[in-house]
Amino acid sequence: MDFDLFVNILYATIRTGTPLLLVALGEMVCEKSGVLNLGQEGMMLMGAVTGFIVVNHFDIVALGFVSAAIVGMLMAILFAVIVLFLNANQVATGLALTIFGSGLSAFIGADYEGKIITSLDSLALPILSDIPVIGHILFNQDLVVYFSFAMFVGIYLFFKKSRGGLILRSIGENPDAANVIGLSVLKVRFLAICFGGAMAGIAGAYLSIAYTPLWTENMTSGRGWIALALVVFASWRAERIILGAYLFGFASIIHLVAQGLGFAISSNLLAILPYAATIVILIMLSANKNKLKLYEPVSLGKPWFKKH
């Protein structure tokens, strides 16, 4: 394998991992507040179809991403109202959201299958992209990839350093205690769910606008689900989520390369690789139960309401 191919594999790894990174970071924030939203796949698909249609009509890529974020957030608000204010079961509601999102997106997008749009261009960052090897891999990407870098750093610091992060963590651990010291549990959870929805919308739009600039039904092909697994196996830590996301990206690319090189393995079998590899490696990482307990939002998935 020559060196250029290797660099290109890593370049593509980042691109492939980006949507997973975005949606997983969003879901992590949501879960840290104690809400499990299984609707990631549905919100991603709605983001993907919205972004594609908007770019197809108006030819403005930025507008596509913004509207995808808004639609993702609207889906999340629907979820939030049901689970936070009507105290419905989070698992059932999330599943329903996914089914709803994939059905609705297929319906809306039926006329757009096979159409073409202007995709998101890459944007070489001055100076940084001149760094040999790394410059090309990391800083010759498109804007959304840079946005995902920024989100990663921002969320990492948010949980490590900020008071807001402290509040979010405390609500995910013990909402009753948080309520007693005067934090508004439902408001924080609502905001966290909305953030998760926006991130899922953007992640979906990245697939339909930048990664493969076209719309097909169910094009997220389980990334929303893998993101959910990723958050758990990354034990709710941003630094492990980014690792897992790129691991997934790498394995996806390897399977394409392997197919191209003509290995005599069934392509269906190879297609499992990214999913299997990501989960196996993260399970190995999360084997330390004590550490896990420190990061796990204890009240994850439990409805909370004011009792008086």
- Give the binding site for another protein (CB under 8 A): 163, 166-167, 169-170, 173-174, 176-178, 180-183, 289-290, 293-295, 298, 308
What are the DSSP calls for 259-297, one per residue? HHTT-SS-HHHHHHHHHHHHHHHHHHHTT-HHHHHHHS-
Q: Are 24 and 230 in contact (CB under 8 A)?
A: yes
State which residue, 182 or 262, has the beta carbon closest to another protein: 182
Closest distance to another protein from the beta carbon of 35 (Å): 17
Closest distance of CB 123 from another protein, Å: 38
CB of 191 to another protein, least distance (A): 17
Q: Which of 97, 41, 68 is nearest to 219 (CA)?
A: 41
d(CA 55, CA 63) in angstroms, rounded, equals: 7
Give whichever of 57 and 160 is closer to another protein, judged by the CB atom. Answer: 160
Smallest distance from another protein to CB 298, Å = 8
Q: How far is the CB of 177 from another protein (least distance, A)?
A: 4
Nearer to another protein (CB atom), residue 118 or residue 288: 288
Matching residue, tokens 């109202």: 81
In the complex, the smallest distance separating the C-beta of residue 87 from another protein, rounded to whole angstroms, is 17
Nearer to another protein among residue 136 and residue 169 (C-beta) = 169
The burial of 191, by beta-carbon neighbours within 10 Å (0-12 exposed, 13-18 middle, 19 or more buried), is given as middle
Write 284-288 long-range contacts (CB < 8 A, 24+): 285/233, 285/234, 285/235, 285/240, 286/232, 286/233, 286/234, 286/235
Nearer to another protein, 167 or 271 (CB): 167
Q: Which is nearer to another protein, 134 or 298 (CB)?
A: 298
User: Beta-carbon neighbour count of residue 292 at 10 Å?
Assistant: 15
